Amino acid sequence: MKFFEMAQKRESCRNFKPIDVEKEKLIKCIEAARLAPSACNGQPWNFIVAVEPDAVKKTREFVQEIGMNKFTSECRAFIIIYDGSASASATIAGRIKRRDYTQIDTGIAAAHICYAAMDQGLSTCILGWLNEVKIKGYFNIPESKRVHLVIAVGYAEDKPLRNKSRKPMEDILKFV
Ligand SMILES: Cc1cc2nc3c(=O)[nH]c(=O)nc-3n(C[C@H](O)[C@H](O)[C@H](O)COP(=O)(O)O)c2cc1C
């Protein structure tokens, strides 16, 4: 599939089949994230891929609080994106410019993961609703690090794609 077709067809999956995801495919997703651009090439990310039954069960719990993200009950793989060590130049640039480049960089990495998954016949849902403290505790992520996103990855039930709900171009674009 060409890029624009993928952008049109990618959608957040909330209907996973309860089947495992091949490790090689998950590794390719992380490889795509590894190749993503980042401020000063700081690559301020780390990834944990939860596929073992206990890790998967716990991750579901951590993204399902107060009834959210129930659809992840069928999902058998999660990618957790958290702070790695940024380069000194990225950290200094962020401080000078007062910008959180890490949030931006990890968001781009998340997009790479979603498209790499799609390219391999997988579906994803980015999850920002998560219990960061519990994720850190369970996965031994140091207190000082932020957990940015969890991405649910798996095979979708065959269902027609939803219509895209997006703002019209004229509301968001200005040529000057
Ligand atoms: C940072 C971020 C956090 C998100 N968190 C959740 C979430 O916790 N649960 C969920 O079902 N979808 C979540 N989504 C998916 C969005 O709801 C979805 O991308 C948006 O509605 C557009 O739909 P589409 O991805 O199907 O095109 C998140 C997306 C992003 C980018």
Q: Which residues contact 7 (CB under 8 A, 6 or more apart)?
A: none
Residues of the chain where predicted confidence (pLDDT) is lower than 70: none
Nearest-angstrom CA–CA distance, 104 and 110: 10
The whole-number pLDDT of residue 166 equals 98
- Tell me how crowded residue 47 is: count the other CB atoms within 10 A of its CB: 18
CATH number at 82 reads 3.40.109.10
Q: What is the pLDDT of residues 46-84, one digit of tens each?
A: 999 999 999 999 999 999 999 999 999 999 999 999 999
Q: Apex CA 5: angle with CA 116 and CA 80, to 5°?
A: 25
129 lines ligand 1 (CB under 6 A): yes
Rg (CA), the chain: 17
Count of domains observed in the chain: 1
Residue 87 alpha carbon to ligand 1 centre in Å? 29
**What pLDDT, on a 0 to 100 scale, did the predictor assign at position 115?**
98
C-alpha 176 – ligand 1 centre gap (Å): 31
Q: Which residue is it, tokens 């269902």?
A: 159
Domain of 128, in residue numbers: 3-172
Copy the structure tokens of residue 123. Answer: 């579906």
